Structure 1
Amino acid sequence: MLDILEEAAVAAGKAIIDVYNAGPDIAYKSDCSPVTDADETAERIILDKLVAAFPDIPIVAEESVAAGHVPDIDGKTFFLVDPLDGTREFVNRHHDFTVNIALISKGEPIAGVVYAPALGIIYAADHGKAKKSVVSGLTSIGRPVVIGCRNRGDRIVALASRSHNSEETVAYLAEHGITDYESVGSSLKFCLLAEGLADIYPRLSRTMEWDTAAGDAVLRAAGGETVTMNGDPLTYGKRNQAHDADFANPFFVSRGRS
């Protein structure tokens, strides 16, 4: 399965880079978040490949959900897809945008792929192992290197969202005496934790499940964790939430080994 997820992500990433180089057409959703022709093209590519390979597994994908297409996932294993995570980074010509595909079982991300096409890097995880590969020529995936979270030392490095940082996140860092942090876009923050380049990523602003699932899968396979503010593992497939929309996440903290 992981090979097919990687192939789908890389194919979508190639289409994204084509739009990136040509200049995207930008529209705005009802929540004022941007969406581009790259998001829509990439999602079509991913859905076509997943449906062909796994016709019995439901797919929850960002743009499809926005259009009102939500499959029945009750009690089922399903895919979560964000065809272009970090659309603001993409629009603003930064390189830290990603393609995210995750497999969810019983509320847990058990496999996932995060591809950063502008950086030529792909992260993947399943069966409790996480790896990183270089993608050359936008199509060829090189030999993978196994990655893992580092043990936390005296110098704690935090990651924060470039486009969605919040006063609550800044306060959390101050409360925990963390002064060293870097701003990074998209799900790459999970992957940097997973390969031992940082220690903690507090997210005290809104996210959706497709934003986090694939990166969270990589992080968990690398020995890290993502927990809500009460210490419970972040779960996926959240529907009929009284306080928020379907598939919306609560605030959370992702971290490597303590």
Structure 2
Amino acid sequence: MKTVLFIPARYASTRYPGKPLVSLRLRDGSHKSLIQLSWEAARQVRGVDAVFVATDDERIADASREFGADVVMTSESCENGTVRCADALARLNLTPELVVNLQGDAPLTPPWFVEALIDAMQADPSVGMATPVLRCDRQTYDNFIDDRRNGRVGGTTAVFDRHMNALYFSKEVLPFIDAGNLPDPIPVFHHVGVYAYRPEALARYAAMPPCALEKLEGLEQLRFLYGGIPVRCVEVDGRGRVFWELNNPEDVARIETVLEAS
């Protein structure tokens, strides 16, 4: 097996309890759960040999099995999706070349975002972990600013060096731009909540304790940077599709608008 994809999902979200099971309205008026839409997105990715929902909650597991997903039950002590992927990999006793983490709150993730990560890691064996970044269009940038203005935790931004290695990730909008001097194109990159790891980098991460920055920002990928493990940012093209994660109840309407138009 070359590539295994996990969809880590937990019920006890601090900001949005039960989020994986929230119902979203589709174009034809029917509804599907967030976890099912994320699983369907994962199934569209080329080059993936197996897809599993990884959870510690029987409600999520039962719902996932009902729509046909393979499920691996993980420890309740997994503090984030990356650790849950490491736990799932150990429980399945698999030895893939790559592990992909497609978080269960990003049903709008196009398959080519994930494929770009797989291609980047296959092209450069020195890369232990990679994640996609997407240049903000005006609508996404305005959504970021609106969330921060209203005290909501919205999407995550990424800044990186000339080699595309991450310098920092934040739930603030970075870099700061004077509202009256917004450049075109906008130099703000939306971090897409997908990760690809080599198993050895994933094991190193799971063996490290959470770091202070990770706790403050609530961003698991900061543990890689703090621990000295480079994170390769892979710029992807939205190809005209709107990308948004479901972080808050207010995001349901945003995502449904996209689903109804697709």
RCO comparison, higher one (Cα < 8 Å, 6+): 2
What is the TM-score with the length of structure 1 in the denominator? 0.30
Which structure: greater strand fraction? 1
What is the TM-score with the length of structure 2 in the denominator? 0.29
Which structure: greater helix fraction? 2
